[in-house]
Homo-oligomer: A and B are copies of this chain.
Amino acid sequence: MQSTYALYLHSSFLLDTLLVKAARGEPVSRPPAWMMRQAGMYMSVYRKLAEKHPSFRERSETTDLIVEISLQPWEAFRPDGVIIFSDILTPLPAFGVLFDIEEVRGPVIQSPICSEDCLKALHPIDLEKLHFVGESLKILRQEVGDHAAVLGFVGAPWTIATYIVEGGTTRTYTTVKSMCHTAPNLLRALLSHLTKAISEHIIYQVESGAHCIQIFDSWGGQLPPNMWEQWSKPYITEIVSIVQNKCPKIPLVLYINGNGGLLERMKGTGVDVIGLDWTVDVADGRKRLGPRGHILNLGHGVLVGTPEEAVAHFFEVTKSLKYESSSQNHAMEESKLLV
């Protein structure tokens, strides 16, 4: 794989990373690749570290650990994107929503929001409380140099609201979906608060060194499309507008689980990149969305139990690809081979 590696190093001499160029739809020599949840339990180095530091909150809120974990897949596979190890719930305490992570139930919000009165607990995001995010991104940026993009991320307002209203994870989303009908003003107030806090968190991540930001509307697909238009899209659109105004060069990626019925609507938010989940074929997605660049990913997080060799193979194959020309049309043809 020596020649492939040389090709890869070559691209690193450009000012923008391969991933950022592809995200902007600029010509690239091959599709850049990263994987959602590329740092995690499927890696033995991570499992070893998690044994020593069994608290997820400790691992995701301590600069040294965040950096170490974020770099584990970088050291093992040299992906084209290094995403900060964090969680979409990490910023919650910084704007007044306290939570614990319990062994069985997962995240548990201490005081779920259920009335106008509960909103009083919310305050503007205090970014100093997220110093470990900024510090980690700065270090990651130094560590990977221009060899890969450093990715930051946030949860979308709707997705974060599902946790804050339901009190944790849910299979049915009954409480928050009911709130759409029974307390729309309360939900709108919560989503507006989250929109401001999340926008500021994105800008903080960019100013700390993130080259690109992924917005996870993980549970956006739990809304029928007409409700997503009302309860998720406007808040994402507002975030995009705020961030693009402040950081015009930073590509924004929007990902939704189960987004086969939402692709065209996602485009309407103004994001630069639409994350296709695994239920959508890349060629179908391109037909529905029009020509675009291609960043290779899985369409889901790496599953626990995935052999590390398989992940290594995925990245090796990616690096051996070469578009016949730098045109995006050829990129389109190549990308079909990969799905």
A interface residues with partner B (beta carbon < 8 Å): 221, 224-226, 258-262, 264, 277-281, 284, 288, 299, 339
Measured CA separation A221–B225 after assembly (Å): 18
Q: List 11 A-B contacts (CB under 8 A).
A: A224-B279, A225-B279, A225-B281, A258-B279, A259-B260, A260-B260, A260-B279, A260-B280, A261-B277, A261-B284, A264-B284
With CB as the reference atom, state the residue of chain B lying closest to A172. B303
A259 / chain B contacts, CB cutoff of 8 Å: 260
A281 / chain B contacts, CB cutoff of 8 Å: 224-226, 261
Measured CA separation A259–B262 after assembly (Å): 11
A279 / chain B contacts, CB cutoff of 8 Å: 221, 224-225, 258, 260-262
A278 / chain B contacts, CB cutoff of 8 Å: 224
Measured CA separation A277–B260 after assembly (Å): 11
A299 / chain B contacts, CB cutoff of 8 Å: 224
Chain A interface SS verdict (over half): loop
With CB as the reference atom, state the residue of chain B lying closest to A339. B226
Measured CA separation A278–B288 after assembly (Å): 19
Q: Which of A261, A262, A281, A339 has the most CB of B within 10 A?
A: A261
A262 / chain B contacts, CB cutoff of 8 Å: 260, 279
Measured CA separation A224–B276 after assembly (Å): 11
Measured CA separation A299–B279 after assembly (Å): 18
A254 to chain B, nearest CB (A): 16
A284 / chain B contacts, CB cutoff of 8 Å: 225, 261, 264
A261 / chain B contacts, CB cutoff of 8 Å: 260, 277, 279-281, 284
A329 to chain B, nearest CB (A): 21
Q: Known pairs A224-B339, A225-B279, A261-B284. 19 more at Cβ < 8 A? A: A221-B279, A224-B278, A224-B279, A224-B281, A224-B299, A225-B281, A225-B284, A226-B281, A226-B339, A258-B258, A258-B260, A258-B279, A259-B260, A260-B260, A260-B262, A261-B277, A261-B280, A262-B279, A264-B284
With CB as the reference atom, state the residue of chain B lying closest to A280. B261
Measured CA separation A130–B281 after assembly (Å): 39
Q: Which of A264, A280, A281 has the most CB of B within 10 A?
A: A281
A280 / chain B contacts, CB cutoff of 8 Å: 225, 260-261
A85 to chain B, nearest CB (A): 24
Q: Which of A277, A280, A284, A339 has the most CB of B within 10 A?
A: A284
A339 / chain B contacts, CB cutoff of 8 Å: 224, 226
Measured CA separation A281–B263 after assembly (Å): 12
With CB as the reference atom, state the residue of chain B lying closest to A224. B278
A264 / chain B contacts, CB cutoff of 8 Å: 284
A226 / chain B contacts, CB cutoff of 8 Å: 281, 339
A296 to chain B, nearest CB (A): 15
